[in-house]
Amino acid sequence: MSKHVISATGLSRALSTILNKVLYQGHDFEIKRGKEIIARIIPVEPHKHKLKLGNLKEFLDRLPALDKDDRQAFFADIKSMHSKMKHEENPWD
């Protein structure tokens, strides 16, 4: 899913949280000591924990919120992609 860099100290302070992100969200972590990457923590297999519909709201509530600039850029991207989509007429109408 996504790769993150964390210090060895940060890893020791947040090990349980890091392992949960690897297990449940499929994140990869690179562990850095000083200026050097010394290890990686990655999921053993592709993400096997499927999100159940009943847990969707809880999952979405845990996601970080976009700031105003990011929201505007996101909506601009959606509008741009939408305008480039080929709109086919429904033959059943």
- Rounded to 5°, the CA angle 55-71-59 comes to 10
Residue 1 has pLDDT above 80, yes or no: no
pLDDT at residue 8, rounded to an integer: 94
The more confidently predicted of residues 86 and 33 is 33
Is the pLDDT assigned to residue 47 strictly greater than 70?
no
Tell me the per-residue pLDDT of 57-78, one tens digit each, with 9 for 90 and over: 888 888 888 889 999 999 999 9
The model carries a pTM of 0.47
What is the C-alpha to C-alpha distance for residues 1 and 22, in angstroms, rounded to an integer?
Answer: 9
Distance CA 12, CA 80 (A): 43
